Amino acid sequence: MGRYRFDEIAINVSEKKKPTAEDQKLYVGLEHLDSGSLVVSRWGSNVPIKGEKLIMRKGDVLLGKRNAYLRRAAIAPHDGIFSAHGMVLRPNEDIVDGRFFPFFISSDYFFDEAVRISVGSLSPTVNWCDLRRLEFDLPPMDEQRKLARVLWAVNDTAEAYRRLLGATDELVRGRFAEMFGNPGEDVYGWGLSTLGKCCEINPKRPKNIDTDCEYSFVAMPSVSEDGVIDASICRPYSEICKGFTYFAENDVLFAKITPCMENGKGGIAVGLKNGVGFGSTEFHVLRPIEGKSNPHWLYTITMFKNFRSNAANVMIGSGGQRRVPATYLSEYKISLPPLDLQQQFADFVHQADKSKSALNRALVAAKSISRKIISDNLR
């Protein structure tokens, strides 16, 4: 096992350019990187790209240096440009095997250190001048090559499960369009309304809430990009009553901040302790109205690509602090179908969720195997 400074392991590619209209089609931003995945499956921007961006080459490792706690690292899918809030890294192949390098960068071993040296309170950022001086242990080159072969095999399996999860979500959205039309359309003549009339946006906390109870606490990392919310963490009311977002059982959470919104973070809050939850202030809450709307119908609307791309176009703020305003949700045009049809759709979703649960378990198992292999050989 050898010990090396990070600037001996990796080359920080700092070449930049001002984007052209053609570059916009191939642009990769932090919003295109999924936590825990080396694959970039989407790119491009619907709005003009401002400021200089990093030049990337196919096969480079793209690191999200802003909000490093999100642990975003992926392989560049093509030549193009990358967000200036990231880093473009290439391996020094005298020290690290090129096929092993992406797994090293995406490992807990690396990210634990990257998060530790992040600076700033609102959007903690990793600076190259600090990162380059960090030291890491690496196994001999022959061992790296062997590890890479195993890790790529596990990764390919995990990505196959991820694709199946995506296909299941597409099936649900297809069923939605078949039963109700695409969001914003009124193909069945129910009349166009707004989401603000179909659900309650960001409901207020009830005055009679029991202050002696514990409630579920949901931070942003506890919400996945495919509708899963981990509500297992609980805290006393006194610790979460101020500075957090209130929601209740069967409310829909919608991540409003970039890049979580673009990445699809959100879901239906279920299994909340004492029926109530508190969480990140970066969530909008959509509460179904009894007798009018169903949570599965609401959540699926928020997961359509057009819904999120349109939301991205109206974000306010700058840099990593851009957010979707609540007015986008409240004023979004939607055709409200009869509640019994919404319930039929929910029944279909429940069946799809059983398949997704099995796939998620398999995906978690594959990622756990990969994490253990890296942990056993790098620490």
Domain extent listing, the chain = 2-138, 183-336
Residues 6+ apart with CB under 8 A from 87: 12, 13, 54, 62, 63, 65, 126, 128
Encode burial over 230-250: b for 16+ CB neighbours within 10 A, e otherwise. ebeeeeebeebeeebbbbbbb
Distance from C-alpha of 109 to C-alpha of 134, rounded to nearest angstrom: 12
Which residues does 363 contact at the CB level (< 8 Å), separation at least 6? 158, 161, 162, 165
Return the pLDDT at 41. 87
Which of 67, 94, 70, 73 is closest to 28 using CA atoms?
A: 73
Compute the distance between CA of residue 27 and CA of residue 43 in angstroms, rounded to an integer: 6
CA distances from 106 to 111, 289, 308 (A): 7, 42, 27
Give the CATH fold of the 2-138 domain: Adenine-n6-DNA-methyltransferase TaqI; Chain A, domain 2 (3.90.220)
Q: What is the pLDDT along the chain (379 residues), one digit of tens a residue?
A: 799 999 999 999 999 999 988 888 899 998 899 888 899 988 988 778 888 999 999 999 999 998 888 899 999 999 999 999 999 999 999 999 999 999 999 999 999 999 999 998 777 899 999 999 999 999 999 999 999 999 999 999 999 998 898 899 999 999 999 999 999 999 999 999 999 999 999 999 999 999 999 999 999 989 988 888 999 999 999 999 999 999 999 999 999 998 889 888 999 999 999 999 999 999 999 999 999 999 999 999 999 999 999 999 999 987 668 899 999 999 999 999 999 999 999 999 999 999 988 988 898 898 889 888 888 888 6
Give dist(CA 108, CA 69) in Å, integer.
10
Rg, the chain, Cα only: 22
Structure pTM?
A: 0.76
Query: For residue 367, what pLDDT is reported?
Result: 85
Sheet holding 214-218, edge to edge: 234-236, 214-218, 276-279, 245-248
Residue 1 has a pLDDT of 78
Measure CA 110 to chain center.
Answer: 20
What is the distance between the alpha carbons of residues 119 and 66, in angstroms, rounded to a whole number? Answer: 9
Reduced to 3 states (helix: H, G, I; strand: E, B; else coil), residue 258 is coil
DSSP per residue over 96-153, as a string?
A: S-TTTHHHHHTSHHHHHHHHHT-B-SSS-B--HHHHTT-EEEE--HHHHHHHHHHHHH
Kindly report the CATH number that applies to the domain delimited by 183-336. Answer: 3.90.220.20
pLDDT of 319: 62
Same fold, 2-138 and 183-336: yes
| Residues 243, 262: Cα–Cα separation, whole Å | 24
Which residue, 139, 151, 73, is CA-closest to 106?
Answer: 73
